[in-house]
Chain A
Amino acid sequence: MKAIKNYLSSLWRALFGDTMRAFGVVSVVLLIALAIAPAKDHFSQWHSYQNGYLSLIRDRSDAVSLRRRFTPGIQQIWLPELGVVDRCATCHLGLKEASLADVAIQPYRKHPVIPHPLDSYGCVICHRGQGPATTVVEAHYSQQAGVDPILPDRYIGSGCGQCHQNELTGTPQLNLGRKMLAQYGCVNCHTVKTPDGRIMKGTDDPPSLEHIADKTTREWIFSWLKDPQAYAVSATMPNYNLSDADASDISAFLMSSSTPRAGDNDAVLIPVAKNADPTAGASLYGESFCATCHAVQNGAGNLVGGDVGPELTRIGNKAKPGWLQAWVENPHTYNPNTLMPHYRFTPQQVALLVSYLMNKSDSDYGANVQLSAATPAQIAHGRRLVAELGCAACHKINGVGKPDNFAPDLSRIGSKPLAQLIFLPGMQHTLPSYIAGKIKQPQAFGPGLKMPVFALTDLQRDALTTALLSLDDRSQTMPDKLRVAGFQQTDYEPAGQAGKLMQDLACFSCHRIDGHGSDLAPDLSFEGSAVQRQWLDNFLKNPNTLRPALTRRMPRFNLSDADRKILTDYIMVVYQSPNIDPETAPPAVNPPALVEHGRQLFYSKYACQSCHIANTKTDKGYIGPTLTQVGSRLNPAWIYAWLKDPQALRPGTLEPNQKISDDDARALTAFLMTLKNSGAQETTR
């Protein structure tokens, strides 16, 4: 014990005995301490990853070429326009090596093929993470403020959405999410300014409630408010988790605020003809292609039909028959802005459809709802609830104005700082998990939050999250030239009588003209250049499809001859393409030699039959439209111009531009013009 003490004290004296000794010892210690930081640099993580890469490629067959392409040191991609510095490739060394696609250990695997070169886009734009970092933790899961962690792969589409405001074939999730923002009415409460300068508008077409009492009963409103999806699984109306009392009060207010409209319920119901076929209603529903827009749940519980209009599975529980009759006769009377066309049904057809639809009901639905007459206090409470919940953000309601800025602006939600977020217990502290969680259970995030619960699948939630994540600071601040603008609806309105007619027939619910309208059906902007007048007239009289594989088809409207003439004239005169010069167009009738030359070009040189059918017996192409009657349908000038440059006439069409020479195009046109229907227009396949 004493020996140790002695030893220690002599050691102390030897080291710190006098000032000079202590100075020497302390100086050495200081120098050593100063050497630690450079030493740490030398043994940094990325060095060992680069060594790991070298030993990985050493045993591979293409070691020499891999080694040649390997550069030691920190690798950096710099995108000054976007302020991105990206050093991921310092450790992710095999990103561009095709032969390393099979490597199981990261960070050496090859990057999957994407449409952009890695060198000019970097990694963090899509994957997030901290680009400048050179350590695993800081690059991927940094806790530093203002740094995003790596984005989970399922939201990767949000990266594309920063620049691409248009729809992309490779990003179905992003497209769906963006569509849902409009379709589920998110943008009715939240402002979303897209990076290309559009204010997103809802496409959910929420019904006006100004005359709701004409349309349905208070009991139905009550049941609907309690659980919209119990009435229609595809309903986009969210669930507000209302108490019975609140739902009752709201229904009372809505009924009391509704004003009656003439003709909704006071007209006499047309009886269905005694001798009518019991399936006539169903057939009419099918022939009118109601299913293009409306869905109905089949026996197996699957929805069949489109999602443009409301689901009709239990329409009989909801609609009052008088109102439904008025609606089917002409929906524009009740709602001038509805997407539904005015079909011009005969009274007997109206009766058939109304009775067919009224039979679509579920006797269990709302069976137990008993509401006593509402007191003024309840109505007043209902009005207050309607104002508080922001019902008027979507629906038109008498006496309640549309609220402004009802919910937070989401234009930059994808860059919201974590410090401004409140997380639920047990939740991952990342922005994607916050957004997804907020969509899933919005009211759990604090008392008094108004956002309702939307009935969404996990897939839909991921899609919405992806779309929201794409709305980040970078997308909003990048130089304009890096952006690909999305489709922007114009406010084109056709003029005159034809315009009124097209409004009445709701052409724009399916077709698009001059940037206005939907993309369910072909763009008609240049229809006058494309088709022959006779064909158009016949088509409007009795539409039959060009593409037999499609389930959505043009419905038949019972147009009068006069109306048809107005429409045909207007389309033929107004919707002309400036790219087609009728002067240089080949003639409609050509010498047989040229036709035969065209046929050979069609079948051999250009192999058009791979996509199109010119002869129903021999050809098998289903991708493009059938051409068996193209000679009666299209103008030769259009065919010629189309062959020369299809994308010039319809941007984005799948038809390849084969750089066909003038002579070949003339020959092909001559051949195609001989493909005419044999007289009757009913010869559809």
Chain B
Amino acid sequence: MPGKTDKILEQIERSRVWRSIFRSGRGGSPLHRALAIQQNVFLHLFSTKVRKRMLGFNATWYLGALTLGTFLILIVTGVLLMLYYHPSVPQAYADMKDLQFVVSSGLFLRNLHRWSAQVMVFLVFAHMFRVFYRGAYRPPREFNWVVGVVLLLITLLLSYTGYLLPWDQLAYWAITVGSNLSKAVPLVGDKIHFLLLGGNEVNANALLRFYVLHCLILPLAALLFIAVHFWRIRKDGGLYVHQSDPKTLAASKKVAPEKEAK
């Protein structure tokens, strides 16, 4: 049985169509594997090789990868939620009720989106502190740290703009409290407040504005900066290695070379 499946898979991979899409070709050699990364528009952001000791959980706690994971979950659930959501008053709130009671798995989708968002904010902060305490922000990675700070702000803004969309009391007052802060900016505070809300108070205009920010502008900005962030990891010399960290060094030595060769 497995032999047959392998044969079919092999046939597919040898087909012209497959080869026209995946240029790396068939084979398990380091070249083929390197090409698999290099020839892919998304994966080429990463380097083709990674220091072995960075694979261990201790080196990074996988915080960056997990943050990316929450972001992907948020995109998928967010797009699905958009199918049921009208950014208008009071339909937005009615849509929450519809999601809860009549949309198949609607409540689950909303829960997953909400909790993933909270977890993402937490993970971004955790990632930042982890990077700091590892010393991974130092030159030549200083610009990537700045990109990270920008991504932190985008994440917070994404979460904040999304907070208004259910149009319930929680949303309304959280945004009211938050947006009132902008009034405190000297000289142009009221203008900023007006620009942010599309009016002088949180109303249907603000809802529409936050919807566009949340679903279009901020995710695009996030994608852009995430791409830069990943690309800079590669360009700045790969994941940062603490030279004198005996723990991770020892971990990498443990693996016997023979086993690896298989």
Provided the pairs A132-B97, A146-B168, A146-B169 are in contact, do residues A87 and B102 lie with their beta carbons within 8 angstroms?
yes
Contact B98 A132 (CB under 8 A): yes
Contact B101 A133 (CB under 8 A): yes
In the complex, A130→B96 CA distance in Å?
A: 13
Contact A41 B90 (CB under 8 A): no
Contact A87 B169 (CB under 8 A): no
In the complex, A74→B169 CA distance in Å?
A: 28
Binary interface profile of B, 141-184, with partner A (CB < 8 Å = 1, else 0)?
A: 00000000000000000000000000011000000000000000
Interface centre among B94, B100, B101, B105 (most CB of A within 10 A): B101
A residues near B101, Cβ cutoff 8 Å: 87, 132-135, 138
How far in angstroms is the closest Cβ of chain B from A534?
65
Q: Is B122 in contact with chain A by the CB < 8 A criterion?
A: no
Contact B94 A38 (CB under 8 A): no
In the complex, A146→B172 CA distance in Å?
A: 14
How far in angstroms is the closest Cβ of chain A from B19?
23
Binary interface profile of A, 135-176, with partner B (CB < 8 Å = 1, else 0)?
A: 100100000011000000000000000000000000000000
A residues near B244, Cβ cutoff 8 Å: none
Provided the pairs A85-B97, A132-B97, A145-B169 are in contact, do residues A37 and B108 lie with their beta carbons within 8 angstroms?
yes
Interface set, chain A 321-343, CB cutoff 8 A to B: none
Binary interface profile of B, 97-134, with partner A (CB < 8 Å = 1, else 0)?
A: 11011101100110000000000000000000000000
In the complex, A660→B259 CA distance in Å?
A: 109
Q: Is A301 in contact with chain B by the CB < 8 A criterion?
A: no
Q: How many A-B residue pairs have CB under 8 A?
A: 35
Contact B102 A134 (CB under 8 A): yes
B residues near A496, Cβ cutoff 8 Å: none
A residues near B100, Cβ cutoff 8 Å: 132-133, 138
Among residues of B, the one whose C-beta sits closest to the C-beta of A134 is: B101
Q: Is A408 in contact with chain B by the CB < 8 A criterion?
A: no
**A interface SS class:** loop
How far in angstroms is the closest Cβ of chain A from B104?
5
In the complex, A50→B105 CA distance in Å?
A: 20
Interface centre among A37, A130, A146 (most CB of B within 10 A): A37
Contact B169 A41 (CB under 8 A): no
A residues near B94, Cβ cutoff 8 Å: 83, 85, 132
Provided the pairs A83-B90, A85-B94, A132-B94 are in contact, do residues A38 and B169 lie with their beta carbons within 8 angstroms?
no
In the complex, A138→B104 CA distance in Å?
A: 17
Provided the pairs A85-B94, A85-B97, A132-B97 are in contact, do residues A38 and B168 lie with their beta carbons within 8 angstroms?
no
Interface set, chain A 24-71, CB cutoff 8 A to B: 37-38, 40-41
Binary interface profile of B, 29-59, with partner A (CB < 8 Å = 1, else 0)?
A: 0000000000000000000000000000000
Contact A37 B105 (CB under 8 A): yes
Contact A74 B102 (CB under 8 A): yes
A residues near B105, Cβ cutoff 8 Å: 37-38, 40-41
In the complex, A458→B50 CA distance in Å?
A: 80
In the complex, A290→B167 CA distance in Å?
A: 61
Among residues of B, the one whose C-beta sits closest to the C-beta of A78 is: B94
B residues near A83, Cβ cutoff 8 Å: 90, 94
**B interface SS class:** helix
A residues near B104, Cβ cutoff 8 Å: 38, 41
A residues near B90, Cβ cutoff 8 Å: 83
Binary interface profile of A, 84-107, with partner B (CB < 8 Å = 1, else 0)?
A: 010100000000000000000000
In the complex, A324→B109 CA distance in Å?
A: 78
How far in angstroms is the closest Cβ of chain B from A17?
12
In the complex, A110→B108 CA distance in Å?
A: 34
Interface set, chain B 79-98, CB cutoff 8 A to A: 90, 94, 97-98
In the complex, A469→B26 CA distance in Å?
A: 75
Binary interface profile of A, 340-382, with partner B (CB < 8 Å = 1, else 0)?
A: 0000000000000000000000000000000000000000000
Interface centre among A40, A41, A135 (most CB of B within 10 A): A41
A residues near B97, Cβ cutoff 8 Å: 85, 130, 132-133
How far in angstroms is the closest Cβ of chain B from A31?
14
Binary interface profile of A, 112-144, with partner B (CB < 8 Å = 1, else 0)?
A: 000000000000000000101111001000000
B residues near A138, Cβ cutoff 8 Å: 100-101
A residues near B98, Cβ cutoff 8 Å: 85, 132
A residues near B168, Cβ cutoff 8 Å: 146
In the complex, A298→B94 CA distance in Å?
A: 59
Among residues of B, the one whose C-beta sits closest to the C-beta of A135 is: B101
How far in angstroms is the closest Cβ of chain B from A131?
9
Among residues of A, the one whose C-beta sits closest to the C-beta of B90 is: A83
In the complex, A133→B100 CA distance in Å?
A: 8
B residues near A74, Cβ cutoff 8 Å: 102
Interface set, chain B 5-45, CB cutoff 8 A to A: none
B residues near A133, Cβ cutoff 8 Å: 97, 100-101
In the complex, A378→B234 CA distance in Å?
A: 90
In the complex, A130→B168 CA distance in Å?
A: 15
Among residues of B, the one whose C-beta sits closest to the C-beta of A73 is: B102
In the complex, A639→B168 CA distance in Å?
A: 62
How far in angstroms is the closest Cβ of chain B from A466?
27
In the complex, A85→B101 CA distance in Å?
A: 11
Interface set, chain A 436-469, CB cutoff 8 A to B: none
Among residues of B, the one whose C-beta sits closest to the C-beta of A146 is: B169
B residues near A130, Cβ cutoff 8 Å: 97
Interface set, chain A 194-248, CB cutoff 8 A to B: none
B residues near A85, Cβ cutoff 8 Å: 94, 97-98
In the complex, A130→B97 CA distance in Å?
A: 10
In the complex, A93→B101 CA distance in Å?
A: 18
In the complex, A356→B169 CA distance in Å?
A: 65
Interface centre among B94, B97, B108 (most CB of A within 10 A): B97
How far in angstroms is the closest Cβ of chain A from B151?
26
A residues near B109, Cβ cutoff 8 Å: 37
How far in angstroms is the closest Cβ of chain A from B229?
25
Among residues of A, the one whose C-beta sits closest to the C-beta of B109 is: A37
B residues near A38, Cβ cutoff 8 Å: 104-105
How far in angstroms is the closest Cβ of chain A from B106?
9
How far in angstroms is the closest Cβ of chain B from A89?
13
B residues near A146, Cβ cutoff 8 Å: 168-169
In the complex, A639→B98 CA distance in Å?
A: 60
Interface centre among A132, A134, A135, A145 (most CB of B within 10 A): A132
In the complex, A40→B109 CA distance in Å?
A: 13
In the complex, A38→B106 CA distance in Å?
A: 9
Among residues of A, the one whose C-beta sits closest to the C-beta of B96 is: A132
In the complex, A87→B97 CA distance in Å?
A: 11
In the complex, A74→B108 CA distance in Å?
A: 19
B residues near A37, Cβ cutoff 8 Å: 105, 108-109
B residues near A87, Cβ cutoff 8 Å: 101-102
Interface centre among B102, B104, B105 (most CB of A within 10 A): B102
In the complex, A87→B102 CA distance in Å?
A: 10
Among residues of B, the one whose C-beta sits closest to the C-beta of A39 is: B105
Binary interface profile of B, 187-212, with partner A (CB < 8 Å = 1, else 0)?
A: 00000000000000000000000000
A residues near B169, Cβ cutoff 8 Å: 145-146
Interface set, chain B 218-257, CB cutoff 8 A to A: none
B residues near A145, Cβ cutoff 8 Å: 169
In the complex, A37→B100 CA distance in Å?
A: 12
In the complex, A74→B101 CA distance in Å?
A: 10
In the complex, A130→B100 CA distance in Å?
A: 12
22 inter-chain pairs at a CB distance below 8 angstroms, sorted by A residue, are A37-B105, A37-B108, A38-B105, A40-B105, A41-B104, A83-B90, A85-B94, A85-B98, A87-B101, A87-B102, A130-B97, A132-B97, A132-B100, A132-B101, A132-B102, A133-B97, A133-B100, A134-B101, A135-B101, A138-B101, A145-B169, A146-B168
Given A130-B97, A133-B101, 14 new contacts (CB under 8 A): A37-B109, A38-B105, A40-B105, A41-B105, A83-B90, A83-B94, A87-B101, A87-B102, A132-B94, A132-B97, A132-B101, A133-B97, A134-B101, A138-B101
* B residues whose Cβ falls under 8 Å from a Cβ of A: 90, 94, 97-98, 100-102, 104-105, 108-109, 168-169
Closest 4 CB pairs of A and B: A37-B108, A132-B97, A37-B105, A134-B101
* A residues whose Cβ falls under 8 Å from a Cβ of B: 37-38, 40-41, 74, 83, 85, 87, 130, 132-135, 138, 145-146
